[in-house]
């Protein structure tokens, strides 16, 4: 089973490199608005454990197809052997400065590559593209046309009509907006190019699908790890005999905040790396309202649950406990326990909402000489995990749907906040889990960690849908 080569060709600056970057999930592919960025052919091999799945070859764009076609026509000896004429053209000009781009882009096609011809569907079709298409037709290799979208405007119908005369398969593919499903659909259409590459493409599709699932699972681990870190975070300080715990509260709170911000930054970086955005990992995050400090007032305003949702969550958790008691008494408490539980849950959520963030502490060890070990934290049980989750989910959605051809910052806004739109049942479940986890300082039981991860994965799946 030989891995297929796809040679991405087209006129200059029509998004060939973008298509390569998106399909290969490779952000290092040089993409520039400047035409002619790709002077040499570059092969990007997509591999699984050293076994090549497929290769994408980025090529320089056609610079003078009409003249090249004229030359090819001139070299044609036999009316039926068009590919020989193309080969002869490449051989003639391969060491010449003339038709440099054309010979470079045709060489890998003649070496057995399949053709992916890229045009920009946002500009009108014009007949001067026919020379390029004719040359490609003459190579006799399996070929497909991709209508890319570089800007506004829509001339897809005209392009499809024209391309249909030269290409058996024409696909609409916006390299900068293509999500995983679009990429997969395109790969599936590669199967139709020829029988030879079908098995290899099928294998690639299966591997990429399972990789996508693994990424979601791994993302859920990263996010649940962040939440557990935030909820179980504590800071222990040794207090002198004369010191009060309150005296060191600011110091402890400052340390906890710093630690948590670092934890969040790491989690985001892991998320970016998981989706193969290493440059985003090391570069500055986009400067939007969502990148404010975790503890900034604005962050708490636009992210997380609303005050009402937090109170409702508290009431639901309390009611759940009460219901369990009602069930245990086989209904002899007439639902009173659930009612009381809801009231207590609501009340305690109300009390907590009035507290300053990170004001909890307790003495964990009384030393003989009057000194004490005081444990501060966690910073907050109620909205803090929701805010962390909200922000992480926004980044998750941004990177999991971002094409690798897109340059620059992540485009996110406050409108992307998601947790407020969770179904009420999911908010209650989240509140219950956060509340249970917050009771632990370390050694969180496997079951609880696993339940949280499963819940986060469900939320990610819902986002993906």
Partner 1 sequence: MTRLSLGDLVDLEARLLEEQGESEEIRRSRYRQLGLRLAEKQPLPEDPGALLRGLLRLDPRPTPPGPRFESGLRLLHSAIAILGLLLGGALSLALMHDSGRHPVNVLTVLAALVGTQLLLLLLLIVALIPRRDARASGPVQHLLRSGLTWILTRAGAAERMTAIQDRLDAHRGLLRWTLVRAAQVFGIAFNVAALAGCLYRIAVTDIAFGWSTTLNLDANAVHRLADALSGPWSWLTSHGTPSLDLIRLTQYSHLEGKYIVHVSGDRSADFARLGGWWSFLVFAIAVYGFLPRLIAFAVAGFWVKSILAATPRSNEDYARLCDWMRQPIVTTRLEGPDPERLRPPAAGADPEAPLPPEGTACELLDGGSVEQLLRERYGWTFDPGSTSPLVAVVSAWEEPTKGQLRRFASVRNRDLIVVLHDPSGKDDARRANIRDRWKRDLPKALAGVRVRVETL
ω into 146 cis (within 30 of 0):
no
User: Whole-number minimum distance, CB 52 to partner 1, in Å?
Assistant: 9
Contact at 8 Å (CB) between 280 and 411? no
CA distances in angstroms from 402 to 44, 371, 412, listed in the order given: 19, 54, 11
Instruction: Please identify, using beta-carbon distances, which residue of 102 and 253 lies nearer to partner 1.
Output: 102
Instruction: Please identify, using beta-carbon distances, which residue of 339 and 444 lies nearer to partner 1.
Output: 444
User: Whole-number minimum distance, CB 320 to partner 1, in Å?
Assistant: 17
User: Whole-number minimum distance, CB 84 to partner 1, in Å?
Assistant: 24
User: Whole-number minimum distance, CB 7 to partner 1, in Å?
Assistant: 13
Nearest-angstrom CA–CA distance, 53 and 55: 7
Nearest-angstrom CA–CA distance, 366 and 311: 36
Q: Which two tokens stand for residue 3?
A: 């891995």
Residues that bind partner 1 (CB under 8 A): 11-13, 24-26, 28, 30, 32-37, 39-40, 42-49, 53, 55, 61-67, 101, 120, 123-124, 126, 150-153, 207-208, 210-211, 214, 217-218, 221, 224, 270, 439-440, 442-447, 449-450, 453
User: Whole-number minimum distance, CB 63 to partner 1, in Å?
Assistant: 4
Instruction: Please identify, using beta-carbon distances, which residue of 61 and 341 lies nearer to partner 1.
Output: 61
User: Whole-number minimum distance, CB 91 to partner 1, in Å?
Assistant: 20
User: Whole-number minimum distance, CB 334 to partner 1, in Å?
Assistant: 28
Instruction: Please identify, using beta-carbon distances, which residue of 54 and 346 lies nearer to partner 1.
Output: 54
Helix axes 424-437, 307-328, angle to 10 degrees: 80
User: Whole-number minimum distance, CB 225 to partner 1, in Å?
Assistant: 8
User: Whole-number minimum distance, CB 422 to partner 1, in Å?
Assistant: 22
User: Whole-number minimum distance, CB 393 to partner 1, in Å?
Assistant: 19
Pairing of strands 372-376, 235-239: antiparallel
Instruction: Please spell the DSSP secondary structure of 220-255, one letter per residue.
Output: HHHHHHHHHHHHS--EEEEEPTT--GGGGHHHHHHH
Contact at 8 Å (CB) between 199 and 223? no
Quote the strand ranges of 163-233, DSSP E: 169-172
Nearest-angstrom CA–CA distance, 26 and 17: 10
Instruction: Please identify, using beta-carbon distances, which residue of 208 and 340 lies nearer to partner 1.
Output: 208
Instruction: Please identify, using beta-carbon distances, which residue of 41 and 383 lies nearer to partner 1.
Output: 41
User: Which secondary structure element, helix H or strand E, spans residue 375, and what is its range?
Assistant: strand 372-376
Residue 351, number of CB atoms within 10 A of its CB: 10
User: Whole-number minimum distance, CB 284 to partner 1, in Å?
Assistant: 20
Contact at 8 Å (CB) between 432 and 317? yes
- 124: exposed, middle or buried (Cβ count in 10 Å: 0-12, 13-18, 19+): exposed
Instruction: Please identify, using beta-carbon distances, which residue of 240 and 262 lies nearer to partner 1.
Output: 262
The secondary structure of the chain in percent helix, strand, coil, rounded to multiples of 5, reads: 55, 10, 35
Cα angle: 39, vertex 179, 187; to 5 degrees = 70
Cα angle: 11, vertex 20, 193; to 5 degrees = 85
Instruction: Please identify, using beta-carbon distances, which residue of 139 and 224 lies nearer to partner 1.
Output: 224
Instruction: Please identify, using beta-carbon distances, which residue of 12 and 184 lies nearer to partner 1.
Output: 12
Give the residue from 67, 49, 64, 51 showing the smallest Cα distance to 11.
64
- When computed from its CA atoms, the radius of gyration of the chain, rounded to whole angstroms, is 30
Instruction: Please identify, using beta-carbon distances, which residue of 121 and 322 lies nearer to partner 1.
Output: 121
Instruction: Please identify, using beta-carbon distances, which residue of 203 and 397 lies nearer to partner 1.
Output: 203
């Amino acid at each position: 089973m030989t891995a297929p080569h796809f040679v991405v060709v087209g006129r200059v600056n029509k998004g060939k490199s973008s298509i390569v970057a998106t399909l290969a999930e490779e952000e290092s592919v040089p993409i520039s608005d400047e035409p002619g960025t790709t002077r040499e052919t570059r092969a990007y091999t997509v591999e699984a454990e050293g076994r090549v799945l497929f290769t994408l070859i980025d090529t320089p764009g056609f610079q003078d197809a009409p003249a090249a076609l004229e030359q090819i026509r001139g070299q044609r000896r036999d009316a039926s052997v068009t590919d020989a004429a193309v080969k002869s053209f490449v051989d003639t000009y391969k060491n010449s400065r003339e038709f440099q781009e054309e010979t470079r882009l045709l060489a890998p096609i003649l070496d057995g590559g399949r053709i992916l011809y890229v045009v920009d569907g946002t500009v009108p079709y014009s007949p001067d593209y026919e020379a390029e298409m004719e040359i490609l037709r003459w190579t006799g290799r399996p070929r497909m046309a991709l209508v890319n979208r570089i800007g506004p405007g829509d001339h897809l119908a005209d392009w499809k009509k024209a391309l249909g005369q030269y290409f058996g398969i024409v696909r609409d593919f916006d390299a900068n907006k293509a999500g995983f499903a679009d990429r997969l659909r395109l790969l599936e259409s590669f199967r139709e190019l020829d029988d030879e590459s079908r098995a290899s493409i099928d294998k690639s599709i299966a591997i990429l699908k399972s990789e996508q699932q693994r990424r979601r699972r791994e993302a859920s681990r990263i996010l649940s790890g962040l939440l557990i870190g935030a909820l179980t975070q504590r800071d222990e300080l040794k207090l002198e005999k004369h010191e009060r715990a309150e005296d060191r509260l600011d110091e402890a709170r400052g340390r906890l905040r710093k630690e948590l911000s670092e934890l969040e930054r790491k989690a985001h970086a892991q998320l970016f790396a998981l989706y193969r955005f290493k440059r985003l990992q090391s570069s500055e995050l986009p400067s939007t309202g969502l990148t404010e400090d975790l503890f900034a007032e604005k962050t708490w305003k636009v992210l997380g649950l609303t005050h009402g949702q937090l109170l409702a969550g508290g009431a639901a958790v309390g009611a759940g406990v009460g219901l369990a008691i009602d069930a245990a008494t086989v209904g002899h408490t007439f639902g009173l326990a659930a009612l009381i539980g809801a009231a207590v849950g609501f009340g305690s959520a109300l009390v907590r909402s009035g507290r300053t963030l990170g004001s909890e502490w307790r003495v964990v060890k009384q030393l003989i000489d009057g000194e004490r070990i005081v444990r501060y934290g966690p910073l907050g049980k109620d909205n803090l995990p929701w805010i962390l989750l909200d922000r992480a989910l926004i980044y998750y959605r941004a990177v999991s749907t971002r094409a690798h051809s897109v340059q620059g910052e992540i485009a996110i806004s406050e409108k992307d906040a998601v947790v407020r739109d969770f179904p009420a049942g999911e908010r209650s479940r989240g509140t219950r889990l956060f509340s249970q986890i917050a009771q632990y300082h370390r050694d969180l039981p496997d079951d609880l960690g696993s339940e949280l991860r499963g819940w986060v994965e469900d939320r990610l799946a819902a986002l993906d849908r």
